[in-house]
Amino acid sequence: MERTLILLKPDCIQRRLAGKILTRFEDKGFNIVAMKLLRVTPELSKKHYAEHVSKPFYPNLEAFITGGPIVALVLEGLEVIRVVREMLGATSGLKAAAGTIRGDYSSSRQMNLVHASDGPEASAREIALYFRAEEIVASELTLTPWLRADDES
């Protein structure tokens, strides 16, 4: 079972798309095991986007991600890191395939609505930036036997 860190970015909250996007993850069968509304500070942005801090687009990215509330959540499920990235589509909404979240709702490279961890190391690092261990509430939903067979876990 894997976990991934998802951010519903300020554009997602301002455009009131949070419900629709959470529904897509729920419909797919993934479990929300932690979730909060918060405002990203410049310090947190620099930690989260450490690999982008020296890039020319970073000042705009920081202004954007700190510019309004976000929803941070942890999703749990089989192969959730890869599957969620596929559900999001390419980084730019202009390049993302129709049917993906960005392909359906974004027409921007920066305002691409949702962040998701790109691998297991990033996921562990990013979850620890946003959540303390006791804020993660794992539980087996009664629906699970109707989402996958016993030998698929």
Residue 126 · residue 113 · CB < 8 Å:
no
143 exposed, middle or buried (CB, 10 Å; 0-12, 13-18, 19+)? Answer: exposed
Q: Least distance (Å) from ligand CMP to the CB of residue 57?
A: 4
Bridge-based pairing of strands 2-8 and 31-38 is unpaired
Q: Give the residue with the Cβ less far from ligand CMP, 28 or 109.
A: 109
Q: Which residues pair with 74 in a beta bridge?
A: 5, 34
User: Residue for token digits 């980084």?
Assistant: 91
Q: Least distance (Å) from ligand CMP to the CB of residue 34?
A: 18
**How many of the other CB atoms lie within 10 Å of CB of 136?**
13
Whether 52 is catalytic is: no
Q: Where along the sequence are the contacts to ligand CMP (CB under 6 A)?
A: 52, 57, 61, 91, 109-110, 112, 115
Task: Choose, from 9, 48, 102, 115, the residue flagged as catalytic.
Answer: 115
Q: Least distance (Å) from ligand CMP to the CB of residue 134?
A: 26
Q: Give the residue with the Cβ less far from ligand CMP, 58 or 147.
A: 58
Q: Give the residue with the Cβ less far from ligand CMP, 118 or 148.
A: 118
Q: Which positions are catalytic?
A: 115
